[in-house]
Amino acid sequence: MTHRALALFLGLLLACSANAQTADDSLKKAAVASLIGDVMTVDTYRPRVGTGIDSNHHDVFPFHTPVFDHTALFAAGDALTQLNPAAAVVSPAVPAPGSDSDPARLVVDGKVAPSNAFISSLKEQGFTHPLTITKLRPPARLHLSGNTVGSGNLQGIGFYVDNDYRTSRGDTGETGRGFTAPYVYIKPTLVELGSLQLLGEEAIMASVARSAARNKDGFSPWGAMTPEQKVGMLKSLIKRHVTEAVPLLFRPK
């Protein structure tokens, strides 16, 4: 490596370190709120009738235990602590959805909503950053054997089921009809309270598909995973992708 190349490399390294240090030092007390785990949806594919019409069948199941929210909170908290071990990370009580304190409404049309009462409350408690994890509702994009498939829109966490798509197992080559895909469609958002600046938002659209060929009864793709595996895969997707997304929220704009 030449002296010039070394100098450029060191300069870049110092610049990156400075940026990271600035982001880390600004993080004093973070409020982390997750609003993704109240329901789980099973979206079953049905052939589309007409352009732009979501004809899928959606079964929405209330989830009365906070297992998925806890997974998101722990992942975000650990990631924030990695950025600044001295920062306090707290999970405050979440105001009611739809209220004037709804954490899902901290940002409206790409701008921080200063009238949101949750912001005032956090400021009074000395928080410097709220990090909210909310549901996202984009078109379905499921990853299966190197392809992207799906129809309609998905939101939050759940399972996309296609009973007709021809699939095969990558390990044995066994074929089957249909697949089930646990998905996590969520959005971490970070705000700096002092300036009421939106620091970053990251769209997470993660999924993993399991072919019906894994189902020993040979029929429904829903049986490709046990109930324990279904819950475990959702938790794994949340933990992995929230952990990866949080540092990206601090990237210089």
Report the b/e string of 198-212 with b at 16+ CB within 10 A.
bbbbbebbbbbbbbb
pLDDT score at 223 = 81
pTM of the model: 0.84
Question: Would you list the domain boundaries of the chain?
Answer: 3-248
DSSP E strand stretches across 150-232 = 156-168, 175-192, 197-201, 204-207, 210-211
The token duo for 155 is 């939101």
Q: How far apart are CA 183 and CA 213, in angstroms?
A: 19
What single letter denotes the amino acid at residue 154? L
The per-residue pLDDT for range 97-110, each reduced to its tens digit, is: 888 889 999 999 88
Report the C-alpha gap between 163 and 155 in whole angstroms.
20
Q: pLDDT digit of tens for each residue in the chain (253 aa)?
A: 444 543 443 343 334 434 444 445 789 999 999 999 999 999 999 887 766 678 899 999 998 889 999 999 999 999 999 999 999 999 998 888 888 889 999 999 889 999 999 999 999 999 999 999 999 999 999 987 778 888 899 999 999 999 888 876 666 666 778 889 999 999 999 999 999 999 999 999 999 988 776 555 555 788 878 899 999 999 999 999 999 999 999 988 7
